[in-house]
Amino acid sequence: MRTPVVTFILAALIGLGLLFGAGVENGPNPFITLGVMNGFVYGLVALGLVLVYKGTRVFNFAQGEFGTLGAYFLFFFLTKGLPYWLGIVLAVAGTLVIGLGLERVVIRPLIEAPRINVLVATIAIALALIGIEILIARIEPRSLDSILPALDAAGDPAGITIFGLTIEPQRLIALGVFGGLGGLLAWFFSRTDLGLAVLATSQDSFATKVVGIGVPRMSRFIWGLSAALGAIAGILYVPLTGTLTPAVMTVNILIPAFTAAVIGGMTSLPGAFIGGTIIGVVQSVGGWAGGHFTLGEQTWNLIIPGVEQAMIFVVLLLVLLARPQGLLGKEA
């Protein structure tokens, strides 16, 4: 019930911000737009985090690296001359296989272990994946092609402009995919037997055993799905940054995505997107304010570096201290 209300308040706040921002010279409007756009990327990664948390009550620190892995797979298949769509299919499939393998080898043996052990295990997985990326692909940056280039054949921007910001085709595609996947998952968890079974597993593993739903099967399903979601996020996001490097998704996306998921309540799928939007806008507008009020007066000794990172920490701390169950969560 709370979801529409929160969504409405958030939309109204953003709208008001844009309205007032329009009158400001070098104002925040492009930054608000940028923040909303980034928010959807955070939201999709947060979705994977929420999924794993719903199913297994664990924070999956490897979620970001599933994205990097997907991007590297796609890069590899593209250099082999495969068409883009086939590259995407194979990259998602490859990440899926690795996700399933990790679930079998690492997560399943720890299924009865305390949650914090599983958390440490996912940290180990993330670090190992980063290490393998460094060993195989080297640390030097690569370039991952966009689905559609940002400039058309004539060299003009190919995107559309809203509120002072031109949005490139890649991001528009990403938006569509993220929205579609979000809707699909929401439907899946509320309307299908399998989806409801997954939720049941997360509530009480003993009870589900009694009614005949295999916990290992659920665990496998959840990890496979979140690995695939992670890969899709990576494939869509990495071309936007221009550089494919080891740990790119963990460094740039995982922390804001976690924060988004926590703001959303860790168990709420729409909450993941709402949280993503909030953190995206706060981060971006924070960056705008940090630059806006110090530029032009040679006051760069006063600049607080890394405003974007600082905003995440502050938001997360405030949310957890004030409302540990998040905006839309049922329990902490």
Partner 1 sequence: MTATDIAPPVDESTVVLPAVKEPTRWRPNTRGWAIRIAVIAALVIVLGVRLATLGGLWADHISQAVIFAIIGLSLNVILGYTGQVSLGHHAFVGLAAFVAAHHITERAGCLPEEGCQYAPMGGFAVAVGLAILSGIIASGLLGIVALRIKGLYLALITLTYGFFAVNSIFEIPSLTRGGAGMPAPRPKLLITDHRFMVFCLAALAVCLFIDWRFLASRIGRAVLAVKNSEAVAASYAVNVTAYKLMAFMLSGAFAGLAGALFAYRRQIVVSNDFRFESALLWVLMVVVGGLGKRTGVVIGSMFFALFPYLIDLVTPLSDFLANLDRDPEEFTLVIGPALALITMIISPGGIAEQIRPITNWLAGNRFTMHPDGGSHHKPSLLAKLRNRSAPAAEESS
Partner 2 sequence: MMFSAAACGQKEGVADQASGLTGLPAGAAVDPETGALIDPETGALIDPETGEIIDPGTTGGTTTTDDDEVASNDDDPETPSDPEAPSGGDATGVTASTIKIGIHAPITGAAPVPSQSFQKGKDLYWNYLKSKNLTINGRNVEVVFRNDEYNPSQAVTACREMVEDEKVFLLVGVAGTDQIQACAKYAASVGVPYVSAGVTEIGLESLPNYFAIWLSYAQQGPLLADLLTDQLGAVGEKNGFVWFNTPTFRDGHDSFTSAMGQKGAKVDYDKPVAKTAGASEAQAIATELNQRGIQNVHILTSPTFFIQLAQAAVNQGYRPQWVGYGLTMGIDTVANVACRNSRSIDNARFLSPFPAFVDSNKFDPNFRAAGGTDDIMFGLWGMSKVIGEMLKAPGKELTRERFIYYNQNSKPYKTGVLPDVAFNGGHMGGTSMHLMRADCANNRYVTEASFKRDF
List of residues contacting partner 2 (CB under 8 A): 26, 30-31, 34, 38, 134, 138-146, 149-151, 156-159, 161, 164-168, 170-171, 239-243, 245, 248, 251-252, 283-284, 287-288, 291, 295-296, 298, 300, 303, 305-306, 308
Residue 5, binding choice from partner 2, partner 1, none, Cβ under 5 to 8 Å by partner class: none
Q: What string marks each residue from 99 to 128 as x (binds partner 1 by CB under 8 A) or -? A: -------x--xx--xxxxx-xxx-xxxxxx
Q: Indicate which of partner 2, partner 1, none lies near residue 332 (CB less than 5 to 8 Å, by partner kind).
A: partner 1
Residue 122 binds: one of partner 1, partner 2, none (C-beta under 5 to 8 A by kind): none
Q: How far apart are the C-alpha atoms of 10 and 3, rounded to whole Å?
A: 11
Residue 283 interacts with, from partner 2, partner 1, none (CB under 5-8 Å by kind): partner 2
Burial of 212: CB neighbours in 10 Å, binned 0-12, 13-18, 19+: exposed
263 binds partner 1 (CB under 8 A): no
Q: Which amino acid is at 300?
A: W
In this structure, the number of other CB atoms found within 10 A of the CB of residue 295 comes to 12
d(CA 231, CA 170) in angstroms, rounded, equals 16
Helix (H) or strand (E) holding 160: strand 160-162
Residue closer to partner 1 (CB basis): 46 or 232? 46
208 touches 198 (CB < 8 A):
no
- CB of 331 vs partner 2, minimal distance in Å: 31
Query: Angle at CA 168, nearest 5°, toward 162 and 172?
Result: 80
Q: CB nearer to partner 2: give 170 or 201.
A: 170
36: nearest Cα among 319, 263, 282, 264: 282
Q: Which does 215 bind (CB under 5 to 8 A by kind): partner 2, partner 1, none?
A: none
Interaction with partner 1 in 133-152: which residues (CB under 8 A)? Answer: 134-135
Name the binder of 204 from partner 1, partner 2, none, CB < 5-8 A by kind. none
Query: Please, which residues have CB within 8 angstroms of residue 313's CB and are 6 or more apart in sequence?
Result: none
Q: What is the spatial distance between Cα 229 and Cα 45, in angstroms, rounded to a whole number? A: 7
User: 210: Cβ–Cβ under 8 A, 6 or more apart, which residues?
Assistant: none
What is the DSSP code string of 130-170? HHHHHHHH-SS-B-PPPSS-SB-TTSSB-SEEETTEEE-HH
In the complex, minimum distance from the CB of residue 295 to partner 2, in angstroms, rounded to a whole number: 7
User: Residue 237 is encoded by which pair of tokens?
Assistant: 């996001």
* Minimum gap (Å) between residue 243 Cβ and partner 2: 5
Q: Which two tokens stand for residue 45?
A: 């990664």
* Binding residues for partner 1 restricted to 270-329, rule: CB under 8 A: 301, 304-310, 312-313, 316-317, 320-321, 324
Q: Which residues bind partner 1 (CB under 8 A)?
A: 57-59, 106, 109-110, 113-117, 119-121, 123-128, 130-132, 134-135, 247, 251, 255, 258-259, 262, 301, 304-310, 312-313, 316-317, 320-321, 324, 332
